[in-house]
A and B are shown apart, each in its own frame.
Chain A
Amino acid sequence: MKYVMADISAVEIQVLFFAKARELCGKKESQLLIPSATSYDNLLDEIVQKFSLEPIRDNLILAINEEYATSESEVHLKEGDQVAVIPPLSGVD
């Protein structure tokens, strides 16, 4: 049987949640299927929608493979990439 890839451009990434994001979504991590070449805003929208993070949508920043990403950056994802959902930081006072 031939194994056919349904959608070549989509990849499965790992999404990590922290702090408030974790509380809203209920889990520490999850998986997401997403097109490999996309924009930052698109990726954010997908994540917010799928994991019900609307209340803090504007106060999030994403970190892709442990690097902060910004609205302007182009996003190229590979299979198994790690995207972290980062709410506003609050280290020690």
Chain B
Amino acid sequence: MHSSKKNVYFRSYQEQPFLRLNLQVQEEQLSLAMDFVKIVNSKLSVEEISNLVSSPSCGAISLFVGTTRDNFENKQVVHLEYEAYVPMAEKAMKKVCEDIRGKWQVEHIAIYHRLGIVPVMEASLVIALSSPHRAESLQAVQYAIDTVKSSVPIWKKEVYASEQAEWKENTECAWRTDRILLNKIKVESSEEIQELEGEEEFKNQKSHSVTTVVPPHFIQIKAGSEEIARRINSFIERKREQVNLGNIQDFCYHDSAPASDSSCARVDALLIARKDSKSHLRVRRVLNTWGPQTRGIDPGSMGCTNPQDPVSTLFKQDVNDESSKCLEDVKPDVKDGMTGPVGLEERLNNAECHLKMHGPMPRDIYSRLKQIENRILHLEGLSPEYFQFWVNAPFKEESEVHYRPVRKRTYSTSELENKLCALEYKISMKGK
């Protein structure tokens, strides 16, 4: 190769010769790191540009070639048209070279961009970087293409086969349409949006769609996406294990050895005692740890000094003194503490008898009711089908003319026998 005058800078778009620097170089003396920045109107040659940056002291050349793709969002692209603000574009490309040199140790840099019509598969941009070892040139070429896209004033118009042509907008561009719209939405509802969330969304540069802004009080959990994925996965695993345990418990490994000898069934009905229940059905209980009864502000409860205003009890600090006085005054006889309407006592007694509750009764009505409720729950736990499956009274007596409100009832054996006899009698009467 002979020494040649190389135009390191470019001819501007308007055809004004604009040579800033003529450098006489000899192939052997090529030790000055060069930036080759050019905007052309003709087809780019990757090989030529790669040769520009090659150097005896470099072991690596990294290339980026941007080519025209034949489709965008299912639309067929015929070709791309590129337009540039040439003087500024060249300035910006030079600046990219400077930035690169500030960050990495590279030898030569070449950035060539083609303007005008670029058909499918042809190159519109070629970036070539050489360095002694590959790490720098690989990283630098990545940086180069990202920065070129965000700062160089070059525009691309996609011409489609069957639709209106469009000017594209890079995601990195700070003043692209979507980002400006997003900022507008944020400004309008700025009282609700916290600064932090706005920044996080603004950094989401890879997204092509407008992200919706959520008011802060809707958000219960704030965590990174990996953390959330981890939590969801561990929840799924935990539930899976619970279900597995339940299945194993239900269907496997039970000790009914005699049954397995005589039967070929793979699964078997099995009584598994459940929590809170004496039968096979799972029973759920609500434990109310904070309520009127537990806090002693029931109108009828002992801690309450003013039945008319139970809440005032809450604010009385020396409740203990007051209530202990009350306790001493109240006689052990239950009836004296009752101030309910007529018949209340009798009805409570009936219920307690029916449920076979014969033990000593608590003083106040709410505790008694609570005991009755507990008794009912206990019986339900023993045989829930009794309570759940019978909606109506099973036998309606024909002698009853007036409407009987539907309620749950259980019948003792003797009652059932009576009813059966009555039925039989009627049928035998009819038959006669």
Residues of A near any B CB (own CB < 8 A): 16, 18-20, 22, 58-61, 63, 66, 84, 86-93
Contact = CB atoms under 8 A, between A and B. Distances in A.
25 contacts: A16-B85, A19-B167, A22-B83, A58-B177, A58-B184, A59-B180, A61-B174, A63-B153, A84-B85, A84-B153, A86-B85, A87-B167, A88-B167, A89-B152, A89-B154, A89-B155, A89-B173, A90-B168, A90-B170, A91-B66, A91-B152, A91-B154, A92-B124, A93-B66, A93-B69
Contacts of B149: 89, 91-92
Contacts of A63: 85, 88, 153
Given A84-B153, A89-B154, A90-B156, A18 B83 contact: yes
Contacts, number: 86
Nearest to B180: A58
| Chain B interface main SS type | mixed
A15 B333 CA distance: 103
Interface residues of B, number: 35
Nearest to B149: A91
A62 to B, nearest CB: 10
Contacts of A61: 174-175
B215 interface: no
Interface in B127-180: 145, 148-157, 167-170, 172-177, 180
B153 A90 contact: no
Contacts of A88: 167, 169-170, 173, 175-177
Nearest to B91: A66
Given A66-B91, A84-B85, A84-B88, A60 B175 contact: yes
Contacts of A89: 149-155, 169-170, 172-173
